[in-house]
Chains A and B, each alone.
Chain A
Amino acid sequence: MSEFSVIGKPVALVDSAGKTTGQGKYTDDLSMPGMLIGKILHSPLPHARIIGIDASRALALDGVVAVAVGADAPNKYGILPVGHDETALAVDKVRYVGDNVACVVAESEAIAEKALELINVRYEPLPAWFDPEDSMRAESDLIHEQRPHNMEKEYHHVFGDPAVGFAEADTVIEGRYVANEVTHAAMEPHSTLAAFELDPQTGLPGRLTVWSSTQVPYYLQHKLSIVLEMPMSQIRVIKPLVGGGFGGKSEVIPLEIIAAVAAREARAPVKITYTREEVFWAHRGRPRTIVDLKTGVTREGKITAVAAKVIQDGGAYCSYGVVTILYAGALLGGALYQIPNFQYDGYRVLTNKPACGAMRGHGTVNARFAFESQLDEAARRIGMDPVEIRRRNLLSPPCVTVNGLRVQSYGLPECIERVAERSGWRERKGKLPRGRGLGIGCSHYVSGAANSIIRSDMPHSTVNIKIDRDGGVVVYTGASDIGQGSDTMVAQIAAETLGCSLGRVRVVAADTDLTPIDIGSYSSRVTFMNGNATLRAAQAVKRQIAEAAARRMNCSSEDVVMRGDCVWNRGAYGDEGPGAAEEAATVAASGRVEGQILRGSVQQKRAEEGPKDKMTFEEAVVAAIDFHGALGGSGSYAPPAEARGGKYKGSGVGPSPAYSYSAQVAEVSVDEETGVVTVHKIWAAHDCGRALNPVAVEGQVIGSVWMGLGQALEEEMIWKDGLLMNPGLLEYRSPSAAESPEIECIIVESVDPEGPFGAKEASEGSLAAVIPAIANAIHDAVGIRLREAPFTPERVLAALRGQQPEARKIRLAGNVDPTQPATFREHGGSLCYKGRGPARHALDPALRRKAARGNAPKPKDDAR
């Protein structure tokens, strides 16, 4: 008999049948009597003042009920307390192409769309900022008046003594790495349905109920209360099934607030669902990031110092920006390798593009690409195997890193070992034919941020459990299942702890009226934090059951064992319990006595004369209810003080109660004629502490490796003067089944001392290692070092041609070495097209600078 009966076994997600039959309801599948449809008018200009909005023609259209504008809800909000810079609809300015200007509420989507065309908005265009390095120097035409130089936030951290560290190094490598912008593109477009109830006392609209595709129901409730000036207790947020989030639904997205404002204006329930193009504008994805990185290593392969300057192109609003720029530094410097000296300069810059926010592997991915690529270069420089150099820089936990991160369980050494073994690294590395190569990368991630967004002593998760007389367990959790399987995780932990079968457990999740506060599904916190809260709630209930069962069995409650729907006295049956056959008989019998249990305890008591040594789960539950009167329990979780990080400014981001680890090997081939990179296989070893549900862990690891693969090879948001060139799933080039390689997931279980049953995160940590693993494999295959992601055929070809003799070089890139981009561009496209794009906006700062130098080209287009 294994140690556990429910966890550690592959089980189907508890909500999977609803998904495979189409019966499960996502927000856009909901409707209400009298429900109207909202459509949002978006800005066509990247930066402009709104002179006036005339909606009279739209309102005159048959079937249009209301038009909401910024003045209807001018209160500012934002996911971070330091970043309240958004309004539901633009109040005086628009700040990106796609910014929200007005919302039409109509009887059907078609009428609403027609009405959008009838709204007349007069704009006064302003000079726009597209390039973060330009934007950082802005003196006028600021995106937000309160942010000089369009600087959202900058941090300058020094840990140890980098100057001494670099002096000790035998070799120092410097380079600039660029990772272009990517977005979540979750399959479900965002959707919100908002409805007011009429208050019977006042007769006026009272309570508000919002169904929304969100990862953070509690924060949505909080922001709605700010914007609508209603107490949170009057707002109920319900999360139906969510069709993927990846961070794109981890903050309050404009439509969620707009739907509520529109419902208030229209005096009717309003549903707004984004089109796919609007999802791309809503964005909140991973910012384009420039990393200037410097690493010093000794001849023995020890890292002596790292210095990084990171610039993130954050878009027009703060969003999660301050956290993103801090994550980039905190996890670059800490908790993966032993880095004694570390300097970090991070700049989060505002530009006139959709806001970037949190995306799977929040903040860490692009910096990890730079670091792991550079570590490979360092290994090459000192003539060391890339696997070996990683093994020489391991941490020795338990420890606290130089930037204050506490590390306990640490499965990285085993991840590296397993992945090298499975991929045949030692036998095959360096022996593959030209054009084919192997590369390794490592990464890690937090299992929940140790400090919540809104600083307080509130527990991060609270869970309630209720058990009825028939032995049905209901778990009330605020955890938001977005497809990662948190409902299943909660059910497994409750069933394992209470010793009952999974089928007894029903999970009620993410409904702010029913479920206690949980701060949401982000930073991979749910298994660790909500899992711990569930564990504690279940233990509280279990204590009550054990106490009552002990009285019946004439033993002490410590001797009561609950397992497999059976409760027994350890003194009589030991730890293993009544034999398997007997156990089956008890379970069968338990079905028979069910009716009696429902009729009440008198018959039940009569049926069980005298003391006994074993009971069914139902009998124990009935005994507990008879004894205590009611059977329920609560549990909560807050990270321990010692895991909350250092004392410096910005130290709040990065600390976590536990870190997950990943090591990956990619095998690629590069076609030197076409520049096409084919990934044949990826081996991914992930340390998730303990795999509560191995099939779900594999799914999460494979899914994040695959998403990283998309960012490495194809996915990229391409901008031209603030306009997104590829706002569709085909153009965005998310890999299809035909293009996706085999990914072998190797689960490493380090069993964390504080995780629920030792579990840590599994959904994000694996993403970051893929990109450098592929970059390193490309270098192994054809000897080119790609420092800009994604590794598209254009970039690969340009780099390959850069290797060839001068005479054969085709100057596609116009004297720019695409592998070493020196300047930043306003669009994420290939450097080949620099300066040859369509005409610029008349007020583009770049044109003004040229005009000042006296060689202004005549603008062809006033962009109005």
Chain B
Amino acid sequence: MKKLLITLNVNGRDVEFACAPNQTLLDALRLDLALTGSKRGCDDSSCGACTVEVDGEPMLACTLLAAACEDRRILTVEGIAEHGALAAIQKAYGEWGGAQCGFCTPGFMIAVHSLLARNPDPSEDEIRAALGGNLCRCTGYNQMYQAVKAAIDAEKAGRRAF
């Protein structure tokens, strides 16, 4: 299969690379761009570990073609930290036990990021619904809600959540 030369905008930077037309965005990120933060947990869009933002919408990179994302803004977990420091939500996930093994965490970071971008002050039900597409096998989710709330409080206290 002849490869296409495409340009992706990932975490604010344009990257040009050759990609097979059937290559998934997840493989492009992990193998071609060495952005291994997005994880491969299922390959069939059932776990959410590969969630990235495409033009502000959370999408599953494992079932998205890289070539279809040309000229779109892609945000991966590597782009969440701000100015080389942990974003409030990343710090809160650590402090509140939102991440245990951490394999699902990149997906949750993106899910929370897009939730707070849409809705800066979500209710507990809204948080649950927003996290509903991501699976975690370690935490039972309870501590994640606390982490999200703590991050929102931190933001209100003057520190941006992202």
User: Please, which residue of chain B has its CB at the minimum distance from the CB of A483?
Assistant: B101
Considering the chains assembled together, what is the distance between the CA atoms of A737 and B97 in angstroms? Answer: 15
* B94 proximal to A (CB < 8 A): yes
Within 8 A of A (CB), among B93-129: 93-97, 99-106, 109, 128-129
Considering the chains assembled together, what is the distance between the CA atoms of A707 and B141 in angstroms? Answer: 11
Which among B77, B101, B105, B141 has the greatest number of chain A C-beta atoms within 10 A?
Answer: B101
Interface contact B140-A17, CB-CB below 8 Å: no
User: Please, which residue of chain A has its CB at the minimum distance from the CB of B105?
Assistant: A19
Interface string of A712-755 (1 = CB under 8 A from B): 00000000000000001110001011101011000000000000
User: Please, which residue of chain A has its CB at the minimum distance from the CB of B129?
Assistant: A738
Interface contact A22-B140, CB-CB below 8 Å: no
Which one of A23, A245, A703 contacts B140 once the chains associate, using CB atoms below 8 Å?
A703
Q: A residues within 8 A CB of B44? A: 276, 728, 730
Residues of B in contact with A, size category:
35 or more
Q: B residues within 8 A CB of A482? A: 101
Q: B residues within 8 A CB of A189? A: 40-41
Considering the chains assembled together, what is the distance between the CA atoms of A781 and B109 in angstroms? Answer: 39
Q: B residues within 8 A CB of A20? A: 77, 80, 86, 89-91, 93-94, 99, 102, 105, 109
* B137 proximal to A (CB < 8 A): yes
Which one of B36, B81, B132 contacts A738 once the chains associate, using CB atoms below 8 Å?
B132
Closest Cβ–Cβ distance, residue B142 to chain A (whole Å) = 5
* B4 proximal to A (CB < 8 A): no
Closest Cβ–Cβ distance, residue B48 to chain A (whole Å) = 9
Which one of A243, A699, A728, A736 contacts B102 once the chains associate, using CB atoms below 8 Å?
A243
Which one of B30, B100, B131, B137 contacts A737 once the chains associate, using CB atoms below 8 Å?
B131
Considering the chains assembled together, what is the distance between the CA atoms of A243 and B42 in angstroms? Answer: 13
Interface contact A702-B139, CB-CB below 8 Å: yes
Interface contact A275-B102, CB-CB below 8 Å: no
Contact A276-B43, Cβ < 8 Å, known A698-B97, A740-B140:
yes
* B64 proximal to A (CB < 8 A): no
Which among B35, B38, B104, B136 has the greatest number of chain A C-beta atoms within 10 A?
Answer: B136
* A26 proximal to B (CB < 8 A): yes
User: Please, which residue of chain A has its CB at the minimum distance from the CB of B45?
Assistant: A730
Which one of A16, A188, A485 contacts B103 once the chains associate, using CB atoms below 8 Å?
A188
Contact A21-B94, Cβ < 8 Å, known A188-B39, A188-B41, A702-B140:
no
Contact A698-B143, Cβ < 8 Å, known A20-B86, A21-B77, A22-B38:
yes
Q: A residues within 8 A CB of B137? A: 184-187, 244, 246, 707, 734
Within 8 A of B (CB), among A148-175: none
Interface contact A17-B94, CB-CB below 8 Å: yes
Which one of A10, A16, A187, A740 contacts B41 once the chains associate, using CB atoms below 8 Å?
A187
Interface contact A699-B100, CB-CB below 8 Å: yes
Considering the chains assembled together, what is the distance between the CA atoms of A25 and B94 in angstroms? Answer: 17
User: Please, which residue of chain B has its CB at the minimum distance from the CB of A709?
Assistant: B140
Q: B residues within 8 A CB of A273? A: 40
Q: A residues within 8 A CB of B102? A: 15-16, 18-20, 24, 241, 243, 483
Considering the chains assembled together, what is the distance between the CA atoms of A442 and B57 in angstroms? Answer: 45
Which among A16, A241, A702 has the greatest number of chain B C-beta atoms within 10 A?
Answer: A16
User: Please, which residue of chain B has its CB at the minimum distance from the CB of A696?
Assistant: B97
Interface string of A244-285 (1 = CB under 8 A from B): 111000000000000000000000000001011000000000
User: Please, which residue of chain A has its CB at the minimum distance from the CB of B90?
Assistant: A20
Helix, strand, loop or mixed for chain B's interface?
Answer: loop
Q: B residues within 8 A CB of A730? A: 44, 46
Considering the chains assembled together, what is the distance between the CA atoms of A743 and B42 in angstroms? Answer: 27
Interface contact B39-A16, CB-CB below 8 Å: no
Interface contact A737-B144, CB-CB below 8 Å: yes
Tally chain A residues at the interface, Cβ within 8 Å. 56
Interface contact B41-A276, CB-CB below 8 Å: yes
Q: A residues within 8 A CB of B40? A: 28, 189, 273
Interface contact B101-A699, CB-CB below 8 Å: no
Which one of B38, B78, B101 contacts A21 once the chains associate, using CB atoms below 8 Å?
B78
Within 8 A of B (CB), among A425-459: none
User: Please, which residue of chain B has its CB at the minimum distance from the CB of A21?
Assistant: B81
User: Please, which residue of chain B has its CB at the minimum distance from the CB of A710?
Assistant: B137
Interface contact B77-A13, CB-CB below 8 Å: no
Interface contact B46-A728, CB-CB below 8 Å: yes
Closest Cβ–Cβ distance, residue A541 to chain B (whole Å) = 28
Interface contact B94-A706, CB-CB below 8 Å: no
Interface contact A703-B132, CB-CB below 8 Å: no
Closest Cβ–Cβ distance, residue A360 to chain B (whole Å) = 10
Which one of B95, B100, B135 contacts A483 once the chains associate, using CB atoms below 8 Å?
B100
User: Please, which residue of chain A has its CB at the minimum distance from the CB of B1?
Assistant: A110
Considering the chains assembled together, what is the distance between the CA atoms of A737 and B134 in angstroms? Answer: 8
Considering the chains assembled together, what is the distance between the CA atoms of A235 and B139 in angstroms? Answer: 34
Q: A residues within 8 A CB of B93? A: 16, 19-20
Closest Cβ–Cβ distance, residue A712 to chain B (whole Å) = 13
Closest Cβ–Cβ distance, residue B10 to chain A (whole Å) = 12
Closest 7 CB pairs of A and B: A22-B37, A483-B101, A19-B102, A706-B140, A243-B103, A16-B94, A12-B94
Q: Can you list 30 A-B pairs with a CB-CB distance of less than 8 A? A: A12-B95, A13-B97, A16-B93, A17-B90, A19-B101, A20-B90, A20-B91, A20-B99, A20-B105, A22-B35, A22-B37, A23-B78, A29-B30, A186-B137, A243-B101, A243-B103, A244-B100, A245-B101, A483-B102, A485-B100, A698-B143, A702-B143, A705-B140, A729-B41, A730-B46, A734-B135, A736-B132, A736-B135, A738-B129, A738-B131
Chain B residues with a Cβ under 8 A of chain A: 30, 35-44, 46-47, 49, 76-78, 80-81, 86, 89-91, 93-97, 99-106, 109, 128-129, 131-144
Chain A residues with a Cβ under 8 A of chain B: 10, 12-13, 15-26, 28-29, 184-189, 241-246, 273, 275-276, 482-485, 695-696, 698-699, 702-703, 705-707, 709, 728-730, 734, 736-738, 740, 742-743
Known: A19-B101, A21-B37. 16 other contacts (CB 8 A): A17-B86, A19-B99, A19-B102, A20-B94, A26-B36, A26-B39, A276-B43, A483-B138, A699-B139, A703-B100, A707-B140, A728-B42, A729-B135, A737-B132, A740-B140, A743-B140
